A and B are shown apart, each in its own frame.
Chain A
Amino acid sequence: MEDYIVEMRHITKRFPGIIANDDVTIQVKRGEVYALLGENGAGKSTLMSMLFGMYEPDMGEILINGEPVKFRSSNDATAHSIGMVHQHFKLVDNYTVAENIVLGVEPMKRTLGIFPSVDLKTANREIAELSKTYGLEVNPTDVIENIPVSVRQRVEILKMLYRKAEILIFDEPTAVLTPQEIEFLLKIIDGLRKSGKTIILITHKIEEIKKIADRCAILYRGRLVKVLDVQSTSSQDMANMMVGREVDFNPTKTPANYRGDVLEVSHLTVQNANKFDVVKDVSFKIRSGEVFAVAGVSGNGQGELADAVSGLMKVYSGSIKLCGQDVTNDSIRQRLESGISYIPEDRQGVGVFLDFTLGDNLAIRKYYKQPFSQGGILHFSEFENYADKLIDRYDIRCGQGRKTSLRSMSGGNQQKAIVAREIEEHAKLIIFVQPTRGLDIGAIENIHKQILAERDRGAAILLISLELDEIMELADTIGVIYNGQMMKIADASTLTSLDVGRYMMGVKEA
């Protein structure tokens, strides 16, 4: 009999309309790195959320050290020495590192001998010690909002260790890191394994599994496909099992054919609400038929750069020219009219009206113009024709056609609708910010194809992505942004992902 520290047997979990996990069984051995591989939406995170007590399974049972357990909250999981680093960090921005780590298990003292209060001094000391022991360098008194993403992740890891977790769950830990930071993290994980911890790693990146994991379970659309030994399986086989079909790793990209300049950004500086420079003196050009990709770690000014070009944020200094015309001080609508399309990062918060129908959402770039309206009166027949045309042409899946409320559509189809609406403008410049975040492989492929098709049509593409793979795959030119500054702009063929990673961490050119 094997020594299984975690067993999840016949787990089924259903959300309204979706079966997230369907009869999944996994068994994790003590002291191993166990990977869960699958696309977005395959049910990895849901499975682990149940192990961590965030949800309860509809069916099936969980065993820890051979004992059946029932977790009603993350407290129960913590009591069984389970810890989890979530994909979206669960940190309080205006708290210090130490406050975040002890939140929920605060050490107490008695002020003046009577009043119980949180003992932050002890917390700070303990955390400093802990961080030294595991090589996870943090300063306990730093405030979260002032520290970079990779350090925040360390805080999340320390949170688990502070709670004396033996089973550590990592949910897509490398998604926000540079290649160098990934190396460092994998080393940390290896160190944790050596010190006897059991690690469950959720990821969709096969190379990481190859590097670090002992065994790997593959999930596909909520079902367990296979559990396999990492050493004896090829990457290609894993990929095929993950996607459920043969994958083509090398999409065809025709050689670039540049024509005239479309976007010219010079000495652009953008300030945030606190009058702090978030984009600093950035200059670049994008030509017709070129994909210009901005690489960078999240929060280094790339979002603000896109907002400034589209007009959502004010330019503090510098200028933006579109086909030779200065648009720096134009309103948002003027810029859209002069040929900018924008697929924003926050697609539900910015890109669509969730409470409107699909038809209305498809028309929001056109409703105020003829033939969609005349003299201030809307013409709904025009809305309907247009929506039906786009739904058909871009294969947008929706329950009730154009009358479907956007809220009830899947994330992938919402994004399809946004992309369809923006591409139909036949703009000179198309800005894509994180266009494939959270989508499954099929949808990603589809959007990548559309980006390249637009480039071949002659549009200038500004692509902003946190996924280095995506950038390496699509870019003709890469600009690397760090702390609001363009560290490097070069032809994509001259850069390796390691080079880009170095610039992403702020290394200046020699």
Chain B
Amino acid sequence: MDKVFIDGLSFAAPLFIMAMGAIYSEKSGITNLAVEGFQGFGAFVGALTAILLMPVLGDGSQAVIYIAMLAAFVGGGIYACLHALLCIKFRANQVISGVVINILAVALTTFLTSTINKSLNGDASNKFVLGVFNRYTIPGLSQIPVIGALFRNMYPFEFIMIVVAIVAWYLMYRTRFGMRMRACGENPQAVDAAGGNVDRTRFISVMISGALSGVGGICFAYSISANFSPSIYMGYGYLAIAAMIFGNWNILPTGAVCLFFGLAKAGGYQLCLSMGLPSNYSDLFMMLPYVLTLILLVFFSKRNHPPKAAGEPYDKGKR
């Protein structure tokens, strides 16, 4: 049972940060199906930084991990510029652009990984092997019955995620930028008339989206497999989008949905183990989050309110 909470949280936290990235982009009026690509590319940049630094700082160094997270943040943000450029400057269809960004991310990172591996150690493998994150237990809180497990064996990134979530919430709901950004997603004309710069606001939002997704990606790389390979593209970016839809584009409910996803996934896996089924059956349980997503979408998709202007390029001349 403890394992369910521990694994569930370590899955939910990166998912949440990616979902938040998706929210940032969509609230500003840019439909974002590119989360999958953002997180993969961010993870790639982070992992590359890590393997370059590991020989310098030592294999077990935890500092490498934090630098890698920062690199993923920056890398995801920069890669997101591509989506922003396509959608804002080139007025491409935002759904197509998202799909293009995802496909390109897979191709680009796979190609670069094997090319870099070849030049570093002569072996064209498509994997970057990363170090292991230390885990921590919070002394007081972990003693609470049942949910205490949430605070046991935690990855440090889970704390970072909480801090990031608070900052992101503050930025979106309390600051000047946030207020204009949300207005851009509802009625960009209003922002323009009030003297805001719609295109710039959207551009920045998409970059933030990429940066957050990138952090989510590198955390997945560390927590799930401790390496970076094309298997990072497991569709978690789409799970994050689904979480955003259930959460009705609001940060807190989205977080709750992510936690639910995490617990369901970990729970399914533990159930499979405890029932003593052969390893083949784990495939069926791996399927669970996706089935769950579809079922939840059936119940939630119709009632919610996406930002009104999402998906439409802003045309100044249109009245």
Chain A residues in the interface with B (C-beta under 8 A): 15, 45, 54, 73-75, 78, 84, 86-88, 90-95, 99-100, 103-106, 108, 111, 115-118, 159
Contacts of B190 in A (CB 8 A): 90-92, 100, 103
Most buried by A among B175, B186, B190, B196: B190
Nearest chain B CB to A339's CB is how many angstroms away?
Answer: 33
Task: Check if A106 sits within 8 Å of B189, measured CB to CB.
Answer: no
Docked complex Cα distance between A184 and B319 (Å): 27
Nearest chain A CB to B60's CB is how many angstroms away?
Answer: 36
Contacts of A75 in B (CB 8 A): 195
> B3 an interface residue at 8 Å Cβ cutoff?
no
Closest residue on chain A to residue B184 by CB atoms: A92
Task: Check if B189 sits within 8 Å of A103, measured CB to CB.
Answer: no
Chain B residues in the interface with A (C-beta under 8 A): 170, 174-176, 179-180, 182-183, 186-187, 189-197, 308, 316-317, 319
Contacts of B180 in A (CB 8 A): 103-104
Task: Check if B179 sits within 8 Å of A118, measured CB to CB.
Answer: yes
Docked complex Cα distance between A54 and B175 (Å): 26
Task: Check if B195 sits within 8 Å of A105, measured CB to CB.
Answer: yes
Contacts of B193 in A (CB 8 A): 54, 74, 84, 86, 90
Nearest chain A CB to B279's CB is how many angstroms away?
Answer: 47
Docked complex Cα distance between A233 and B145 (Å): 87
Task: Check if A117 sits within 8 Å of B174, measured CB to CB.
Answer: yes
Task: Check if B175 sits within 8 Å of A118, measured CB to CB.
Answer: yes
Nearest chain A CB to B180's CB is how many angstroms away?
Answer: 7
Contacts of A45 in B (CB 8 A): 319
Nearest chain B CB to A369's CB is how many angstroms away?
Answer: 34
Most buried by A among B182, B192, B193: B193
Task: Check if B308 sits within 8 Å of A104, measured CB to CB.
Answer: no
Docked complex Cα distance between A245 and B227 (Å): 79
- Residue in A73, A93, A115, A116 whose CB lies within 8 Å of B186: A93
Docked complex Cα distance between A86 and B194 (Å): 12
Nearest chain A CB to B292's CB is how many angstroms away?
Answer: 26
25 residue pairs bridging A and B, Cβ less than 8 Å apart? A54-B192, A73-B195, A74-B193, A74-B194, A75-B195, A84-B193, A88-B319, A90-B189, A91-B190, A92-B187, A93-B308, A100-B190, A103-B179, A103-B180, A103-B183, A103-B190, A103-B196, A104-B191, A104-B196, A108-B176, A115-B174, A117-B170, A117-B175, A118-B175, A118-B179
Closest residue on chain B to residue A15 by CB atoms: B317
Contacts of B170 in A (CB 8 A): 115, 117
Task: Check if A90 sits within 8 Å of B194, measured CB to CB.
Answer: yes
Task: Check if B179 sits within 8 Å of A93, measured CB to CB.
Answer: no
Closest residue on chain A to residue B179 by CB atoms: A118
Closest residue on chain B to residue A159 by CB atoms: B194
- Residue in A73, A88, A90, A106 whose CB lies within 8 Å of B179: A106
Docked complex Cα distance between A117 and B179 (Å): 10
Docked complex Cα distance between A74 and B194 (Å): 7
Contacts of A95 in B (CB 8 A): 183, 186
Docked complex Cα distance between A15 and B315 (Å): 14
Docked complex Cα distance between A108 and B176 (Å): 8
Contacts of A93 in B (CB 8 A): 186-187, 308
Closest residue on chain A to residue B185 by CB atoms: A92
Docked complex Cα distance between A84 and B195 (Å): 12
Closest residue on chain A to residue B307 by CB atoms: A94
Task: Check if A91 sits within 8 Å of B187, measured CB to CB.
Answer: yes
